[in-house]
Amino acid sequence: MLTGQARNDIDKLWEKFWTGGITNPLTVIEQISYLLFARMLDMQEEMAERKAARGSTVTLIFPTTPAGQLLRWKNFKNLSGKALYTHLKDNVYPFFTQMGEQPNDDMSAEGKALSGLVNIGEYMQDADLAIKNESVLAAAVAMVDKLELTKSDTKGDIYEYLLSKLTTAGINGQFRTPRHIIDAMIELVAPLPTETVCDPACGTAGFLARTMEYLNRTYSSADGTFTDEDSNVHYSGDLLGEYREHINSQMFWGFDFDTTMLRVSSMNMLLHGVSDANILYQDSLSKSIKANFPRQEENFFDVILANPPFKGSLDESNVNPDVLGVVKTKKTELLFVAHILRALKLGGRAAVIVPDGVLFGSSNAHQQLRQSLIENNQLEGIVSLPSGVFKPYAGVSTAILLFTKGGTTERVWFYDVLADGYSLDDKRTPQEANDLPQVIARWQEYRALVLANAAEETIAAAFGDKTQQAFAVAKAEIAANKYDLSINRYKEVVYAEERYDAPKVILGKLKALESEILADLEALEGML
């Protein structure tokens, strides 16, 4: 969590961007990302210099010439407005584009961190300084210079706060998934630090970054957990030491075909302490993935977390033919689920947000996909979300699919979420009612019974009542309903009996009321 002062500083800077003519929130985040990148390059160079002073061989980022040293944050941050703008636009930002071309054979911690920065440089090829207002630029540099970037958790919180200001939806059904929904999905899947985690349509890398925060929370000792002056709890992840190399370079994978999103997500991961995440340019549904990422395209990932775009349809000729072999359709929401099934390892698990239409659509493709999920895999749970969860982006009803690749389904666990801690209108103001903690608790209770091979009678005793928010439905019943997975198909509603007075009693009440009205009218007439 950020301190109140840091939030105020960011809010003031955001207002300056707005009054300075930059009103697109993604552009604001992108411009701040460039400045963060420039400062972090200088911080990395200072680490390398300290290492060199101890006699180690290091790979330096900046040329040792006077012009090269002027590219460093500490040497240009105090330039005046016009000189600062010219220097950033003509010298510093063009230097970003060269970062992806630098070789790096240093396998030390500093060298691997440099490799992560170099990878981000690949997505800085078209970086441009859009802050034309000199006072806004000076304020942005001053604010970034004040941020506590030496703490990975604080860096991640800074970026999370910036991303929370995204309030616009993309034309292809892209929008930011609320962090409390992401956190719930991660808790339901419970990734391990030895696993590989992927988001095939990563956007700003919210699922990946929040997974890193989940690992820090889960693997922090009492000594590695501390509270700041604002009573915010911070987790160091000090018990992750033996897994750090895997986490930094092999654990996290994100794919997207929007270079702006790739820049933002790469920086997001770096600021969350993952120095070399695999944030890659690729349309996950395109047939080009077979040539570009043949290993990752099939049987590769342990965990997939996603809220893929589910608006519109694709050109079938450009879709991965193996995905079409799972489900023949043009609808992106169906194709993404099919792709995720292919990309998972046998035994790999996923939590995926889908529109409700996936659950009950009557087309052959809809039924084919649901049948494959149930008959050829383990569809373990469906969490039905209220329709206002993604406002103000969209009011569409959605659900979270929880499934494991391989095996066959015995029963499906349902949970009907009625409240998520926020109002279900466009304002999304905080509310006390919140079912998400109960979703996680009940899911863990259900999974414990399943993993213990509990008798059907035991599971039925805990989750057989379909009038409750959490209940389980046998596979046979679902198959008999053409694999319809809509929660309303199986949830039983208890109607309270309404009792009415007898007609003669109602007529008597009406006559008495009529008499009172007539008496009042006569009294009024007497006053005239």
The token pair at 486 is 């809509």
Local structure of 399: helix, strand or coil: strand
CA-to-CA separations, 1 to 40, 226, 231, 248, in angstroms, rounded = 21, 12, 9, 23
**Of residues 269, 351, 338, 339, the one with CA closest to residue 303:** 351
77 residue type, one letter: K
Structure confidence at residue 310 (pLDDT):
75
DSSP state letter for 247: I
Q: For each of the chain's 528 residues, which pLDDT tens digit applies?
A: 566 777 888 888 888 888 888 888 888 888 888 888 888 888 878 877 887 787 766 677 888 899 999 999 999 999 987 899 999 999 998 888 776 554 444 444 444 445 556 566 666 777 788 888 888 899 899 988 988 776 655 666 777 778 777 754 443 444 568 889 999 999 999 999 999 999 999 988 989 999 999 999 999 999 988 887 767 788 888 999 899 999 998 999 999 988 878 888 888 888 787 878 999 999 999 999 999 999 999 999 999 999 998 766 677 788 999 999 999 998 999 999 999 999 999 999 999 999 999 999 999 999 999 999 999 999 999 999 998 888 766 778 899 999 999 999 999 999 999 999 998 887 888 899 999 999 999 999 999 999 999 999 999 999 999 999 999 999 999 999 999 999 999 998 776 677 788 888 889 889 999 999 998 888 888 887
DSSP state of 498: P
Query: Using an 8 Å Cβ cutoff, are 128 and 263 in contact?
Result: no
- Residue 220 has φ and ψ, to the nearest 5°, of -115, 130
Cβ atoms of 144 and 35 within 8 Å: the answer is: yes
What is residue 406's predicted lDDT score, i.e. its pLDDT? 95
Separation of alpha carbons 189 and 305, rounded Å: 9
Q: What are phi and psi of 285, to 5 degrees?
A: -90, -10
User: Which residue in the block uniquely carries the two structure tokens 């208890």?
Assistant: 494
Tell me whether strands 197-199 and 301-306 are parallel, antiparallel or unpaired: parallel
- Provide the token pair at 290: 């077979």
Q: Are 120 and 267 in contact (CB under 8 A)?
A: yes
On whether the CB atoms of residues 50 and 104 are closer than 8 A, the answer is no
Neighbours of 214 (CB within 10 A): 18
Q: Where are the beta strands (DSSP E) in 247-392?
A: 252-256, 278-281, 301-306, 344-355, 378-385
Q: What sign does the dihedral 338-340-346-351 (CA atoms) show?
A: negative
Q: Quick one: pLDDT at residue 409?
A: 95
pLDDT reported for residue 350: 97
pLDDT at 128: 83
Q: What is the pLDDT of residue 2?
A: 65
C-alpha–C-alpha distance, residues 186 and 216, integer Å:
13
Helix orientation angle between 259-271 and 152-163, rounded to the nearest 10 degrees: 150
Residue 84: predicted pLDDT: 93
Q: How far is CA 69 from CA 62, 64, 66, 125, 282, in A?
A: 6, 6, 5, 21, 35
Rounded to two decimals, the pTM is 0.82
From the list 138, 29, 126, the residue with the least C-alpha distance to 76 is 138
pLDDT on residue 99: 67
The string over 403-419, giving b where at least 16 C-beta atoms fall within 10 Å of a residue's C-beta and e elsewhere, is bbbeeebbbbbbbbbee
Sign of CA dihedral 144, 91, 265, 236: negative
Number of neighbouring beta carbons within 10 Å of residue 49: 11
The answer to whether the beta carbons of residues 304 and 340 sit under 8 Å apart is yes
Calculate ∠ Cα 213-218-221, nearest 5°.
115
> In sequence order, which residues have a C-beta less than 8 Å from that of residue 514 and are 6 or more positions away?
none
Q: Decide: 271 and 206 in contact? Cβ < 8 Å.
A: no
Q: How far apart are CA 193 and CA 435, in angstroms?
A: 28
